[in-house]
Amino acid sequence: MAKSTKRQGDMRSLKLFITAFALVTLVSCSDSEEVFGGDNWTVINYWAVWCKPCREEIPELNHLNDVTGIEVLGVNFDRKSGEALYADAQHLGLEFENIGDPSQQLGIERPTVLPTTVVLSPSGDVEAVLIGPQTKETILAVIRTDKD
């Protein structure tokens, strides 16, 4: 019995540690003052857990995030943060970082339709604002077109 109680205590401690780590990570990734540009293309996807097309395109974005030279970032349309953002991101299986809404910083209007995907060149310029669900191929087409 004492061994079981100790194990439960250890599991609670581990759960608290993981939750705290996730929250610290999300807070550090939610800085909308982030400077875009550098060596990578940046793909910013506005999503919400209630948006069916958003849910359907998440696997495509996860695959795109694995492509060398491309970084995918998410923006929660409902402006959730902390544990609520973490829970939604986990529920949808997001494998990329989430940030605060950068629309003002980028000089674009905040999207009113979901999903919306913004493609930034390595220099930080807005190359495309894509409305509706995207695939890895549709986003790569924007990037490849710019390289030609």
* C-alpha distance from residue 90 to each of 7, 68, 116, 128, 131 (Å): 25, 24, 20, 28, 24
**Domain assignment of residue 36, given as a range:** 2-147
CATH number for the domain spanning 66: value is: 3.40.30.10
89-103 pLDDT, tens digit each: 999 999 999 999 999
35-84 pLDDT, tens digit each: 577 889 999 999 999 999 999 999 999 999 999 999 999 999 999 999 99
Query: What does DSSP assign to residue 79?
Result: -
* Mean pLDDT across 2-19: 54
Query: What does DSSP assign to residue 42?
Result: E
